[in-house]
Structure 1
């Protein structure tokens, strides 16, 4: 038995550098209320996580690589009916939504985007087919050149591995999917997508809806062009065009990226559990006005421990030269075959389950 455990630990130490360098959203904070997101290395082994999750299933911390398949919508398997959640979190129109990641590598440069889609009265069975998505936030290359400049992903790291957006203040109340994503461009010609979807109930008295020209289909926003296939390590590039439509102007809404760029991301936010809504509670919240569930608590809700990566800002002070050098090395190391990457991840998950260790 000891020999098996020793061999397993050796295997983990060998594959860890290739599978632990990415990230996922671990908390979604709605108007100051914290909802634990789907935790892949815990929830995939627990059929009834507590509290319930408002985010759709993700398999691990790896990327989606096919931007023309259904997995690009909310992550691998998230569109399958068996993997959807029936839970929603309430947020008033005009309030802030913060996505707190568990980690993000400094060399995985790229844009950060956020979309929303109206589900009507419930997102549990909403499959996102067709032109249903509208963009509420995006940021790409902030300054400098693509190889040594500042990207949205760098801003996210500097803001405590978090990103904050605002729900359009005049948005019509109802159930919505919110899709938050980092696109990693460190491996030229092989973009890596990290999408996450949460189910919201937007409350308030707003009546605004996006125009038909603002609605797009996913997949469909990404193409084989410079927005996805760019080689960011070519020196001197000072422009980058983000894929997809412009940010919606619904109800005279404008993006709130100024806050993120000025270091306005959240620090240590006091944990206040948000109330999980499902079934009739969703209908009741949609029919109300204001923040109907601003301070509810979950039975059994627990604070998610923040990793060191989530509480440090050292990455923000890394010199551009060292980041560029690390990026070049990482770009090469990330070009492993899909077969090897999946096998490594499966081995890691199996070992973690066997040894009962927490990721």
Structure 2
């Protein structure tokens, strides 16, 4: 994408959110950053669906997914694929851009899933519910900032209130095997008692580099299936004194950085 197209995409893809929810609007790669436009549920769908520049899977609403077993929890609803891929070199930062995010409480995670090569359909033809997902990034309550209700979560720390975008950088593992992948960013908001709110968005990546690594099968998860709906870290009251003392984040799946 040329710099001119990237700037036009940036200007046209800043959603005018009117409620407390939100979503992932753009992606950037490199420094200086090259911008890639995502889907905007507030804009005309016919001007986005199937467009040759669309790197993101369609999410038609800024509303959350409320169930860990929802069939759309992998890549949001309806999850229709765009035809394009974001080119990124293993070891580079891929930055997720949110133009509006209000919720302050809960973990954030980034995941990858490998797709077949282009001559076998690439990422466009896959069933995202059948993919093997592995986590490459996560952040939750920032240590030393306080308890569950009053401490600072990364979800709050990455927010900006000056009109500039909220930037979430995650490094594509340097040793990752080259190929086509779907990247999945998820914000999980747990500010309402026993009512988790999942905000997933997905995009297609074309990863290059000399790496050969993929995780062993023990690190793969399915969506739905990755989360137990009765997990106490999902069914949680952050204002409960007992929960503040017993809350434990799910174990990390950050594998490739240690291989």
Structure 1 residues 141, 238: CA separation in 2 closer, same or farther (over 3 Å shift)? farther
Q: Which of 181, 197, 201 is the equivalent residue of 1:196?
A: 201
RMSD: 2.3
- Contact 1:144–1:238 (CA under 8 A) maintained in structure 2: no
User: 1:2-33: per-residue Cα shift (whole Å, max 9, x none)?
Assistant: xxxxxxxxxxxxxx99x611111111112222
Alignment of 1:106-255 (within 5 A): 107-121=103-117, 122-130=122-130, 132-142=132-142, 143-157=145-159, 160-223=165-228, 224-235=230-241, 237=244, 240-243=247-250, 246-250=252-256, 252=258
Aligned pairs, how many? 231
The alpha carbon displacement at 1:51 in A equals: 6.6
With the length of structure 2 as denominator, give the TM-score of the two structures: 0.82
Structure 2: give runs of 5+ residues left out of the alignment. Answer: 1-15
With the length of structure 1 as denominator, give the TM-score of the two structures: 0.60
Looking at structure 2, the residues matched to 195 and 251 of structure 1 have their Cα atoms a distance apart, in angstroms, of: 23
2:159 match: secondary structure: helix
Determine the structure 2 residue equivalent to 1:324: none
Structure 1 residues 154, 76: CA separation in 2 closer, same or farther (over 3 Å shift)? same
- Contact 1:210–1:248 (CA under 8 A) maintained in structure 2: no
Looking at structure 2, the residues matched to 149 and 136 of structure 1 have their Cα atoms a distance apart, in angstroms, of: 24
Structure 1 residues 240, 154: CA separation in 2 closer, same or farther (over 3 Å shift)? farther
Looking at structure 1, the residues matched to 249 and 183 of structure 2 have their Cα atoms a distance apart, in angstroms, of: 18
Aligned: 1:84 with 2:81: yes
Q: Considering only CA atoms, is the larger Rg found in Structure 1 or Structure 2?
A: 1
Structure 1: give runs of 5+ residues left out of the alignment. Answer: 1-15, 254-359
The alpha carbon displacement at 1:225 in A equals: 1.8
User: 1:40-92: per-residue Cα shift (whole Å, max 9, x none)?
Assistant: 111424255867210100012110112102211000111xxxx2111111100
More helix by share: 1
